């Protein structure tokens, strides 16, 4: 039964993506690529979540990040000493066990950038993606770059061409950036939710973003327009690059800490106000609003409100606040869901699709090309709409598979 519900959900979410453009002519042109990407989502999802080989690969990836978290604990223990008790098994205060390792992973990304390994990966995967998606090389490279170095940092790589990009291409670039997550915080995610769903979401969202923009924002490019933009290579020394990425990692940690403190506290205030006035908390109310959408992804009816609450929390705050529900650090205690509901909810949470990301992407673009930053801010809600549909698509695919 859940398979039929999931298929119906896919139809609904694809229709919602098509609704803003309603370009039937472009739909006919894009249909073969969209169908291919949907098939790839299911094939890759099955390989990752239902085969021994796929689970073994994910286990290796999780082990790598677990090892990095272990090494990060050495740095945390050295700096903070007896001020904080970080156990060998990773238990301890959230900021030290989940967030501080972001600095170490960011440093490794900087090293890979300096050695030109990351640009090589981005270019190789981007070429393959452009053949599959039917979109431009720039859009494909940008999507891979966003997943590796972050939604705002990757704009620096295209800063030469950024001021001249038309609005439709700018939308695709921003939408794919909002639909992915940076590798620097994947380790933090894996301490909060199941690693297999983190990996699955990253892969599925990559294709999901192109499916949604092909329906919501369809266009074609001439050979002259479909150009590759080579990122500028820094003349900085190794230690300059390393120091820069370590500092950037620290900024990300502080940013996440500030958002968590602020959003969790504000959520508690709203819950208290709504509970005293209406007899129902703010998050519970949001849960009822999002419950029908949760059902369409394949969530059992009895758990739809709980999952809907997580989806809404992620949308209005960020993924970290929502992921806290699956940890012992959650103010209301760790949330227990069925296997299918857990798979769907955790897959949905792995993306940057939230209101604060509009400001992050627009701000990054504005610092490089002021007019383009204003353009992104202008279509910000449409951008969030598309990126959220990507999360719904990926969650629905996982719901059908598991």
Q: Spell out the domain ranges in the chain.
A: 2-401
Give the model confidence (pLDDT) of 290-309 as tens digits: 999 999 999 999 999 999 99
Is 60 exceeded by the pLDDT of residue 88?
no
Alpha-carbon distance values, 55 to 42, 70, 119, 194 (Å): 15, 22, 27, 12
Is 60 exceeded by the pLDDT of residue 90?
no
Other Cβ atoms within 10 Å of 160 Cβ, number: 13
Give the model confidence (pLDDT) of 316-353 as tens digits: 888 988 999 998 878 778 899 999 999 999 999 999 99
Mean pLDDT comparison of 138-142, 222-226, 264-268, 291-295, highest-scoring range: 291-295
Q: Which residue in 187, 199, 206, 197 sits closest to 346, CA to CA? A: 197
Give the model confidence (pLDDT) of 387-402 as tens digits: 999 999 999 999 999 9
Residues 6+ apart with CB under 8 A from 385: 20, 216
Average pLDDT, the chain: 87
Is 60 exceeded by the pLDDT of residue 232?
no
Which tops the pLDDT comparison, 306 or 97?
Answer: 306
201 in Cβ contact with 351 (< 8 Å): yes
Locus of tokens 């923009």: 213
Cα 271 to Cα 341: distance, rounded to the nearest angstrom: 24
pLDDT mean over 368-386: 91
pLDDT for position 109: 84
Q: What is the CA radius of gyration of the chain?
A: 21
pLDDT for position 255: 80
Q: Which residue in 187, 177, 157 sits closest to 69, CA to CA? A: 187
Which tops the pLDDT comparison, 249 or 393?
Answer: 393
Which tops the pLDDT comparison, 118 or 33?
Answer: 33
Going by pLDDT thresholds of 50, 70 and 90, the confidence category of residue 70 is confident
Cα torsion 259, 193, 190, 192 to 10°: value is 50
Where do runs of H (alpha helix) occur along 81-116?
94, 101-114
Cα 180 to Cα 199: distance, rounded to the nearest angstrom: 11
Structure tokens at 54: 């796929």
Cα 13 to Cα 392: distance, rounded to the nearest angstrom: 7
pLDDT for position 220: 85
């Amino acid at each position: 039964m859940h398979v039929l519900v999931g298929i119906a959900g896919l139809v609904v979410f694809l229709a919602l993506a098509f609704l803003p453009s309603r370009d039937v002519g472009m739909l006919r042109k894009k249909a073969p690529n969209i169908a291919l990407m949907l098939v790839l989502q299911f094939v890759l999802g099955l390989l990752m979540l239902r085969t021994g080989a796929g689970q073994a690969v994910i286990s290796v990836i999780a082990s790598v990040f677990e090892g990095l978290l272990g090494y990060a604990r050495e740095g945390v223990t050295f700096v903070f000493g007896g001020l904080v008790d970080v156990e060998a098994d990773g238990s301890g205060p959230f900021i030290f066990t989940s967030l501080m390792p972001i600095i170490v992973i960011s440093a490794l990304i900087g090293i890979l950038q300096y050695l030109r390994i990351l640009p090589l990966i981005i270019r190789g995967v981007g070429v393959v993606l452009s053949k599959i998606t039917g979109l431009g090389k720039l859009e494909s490279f940008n999507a891979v770059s966003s997943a590796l170095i972050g939604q705002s940092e990757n704009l620096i790589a295209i800063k030469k061409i950024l001021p001249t990009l038309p609005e439709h291409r700018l939308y695709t670039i921003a939408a794919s950036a909002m639909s992915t997550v940076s590798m620097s915080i994947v380790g933090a995610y894996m301490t909060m939710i199941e690693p297999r769903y983190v990996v699955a979401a990253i892969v599925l969202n990559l294709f999901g973003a192109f499916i949604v923009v092909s329906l919501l924002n369809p266009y074609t490019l001439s050979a002259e327009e479909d150009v590759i933009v080579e990122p500028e290579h820094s003349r900085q020394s190794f230690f300059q690059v390393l120091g820069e990425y370590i500092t950037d990692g620290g900024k990300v940690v502080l940013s996440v800490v500030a958002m968590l403190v602020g959003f969790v506290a504000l959520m508690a205030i709203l819950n208290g106000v709504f509970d005293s006035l209406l007899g129902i908390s703010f998050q519970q109310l949001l849960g009822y609003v999002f419950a029908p959408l949760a059902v369409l992804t394949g969530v059992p009816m009895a758990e739809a409100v709980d999952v809907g609450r997580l989806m809404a929390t992620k949308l209005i705050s960020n993924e970290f606040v929502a992921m806290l529900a699956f940890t012992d650090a959650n103010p209301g205690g760790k949330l227990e869901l069925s296997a299918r509901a857990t798979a769907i909810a955790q897959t949905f949470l792995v993306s940057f699709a939230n209101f604060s990301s509009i400001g992050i992407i627009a701000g990054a673009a504005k610092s490089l090309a002021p007019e383009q930053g204003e353009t992104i801010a202008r279509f910000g809600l449409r951008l969030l709409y598309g990126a959220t549909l990507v999360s719904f698509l990926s969650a629905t695919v996982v719901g059908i598979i598991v």
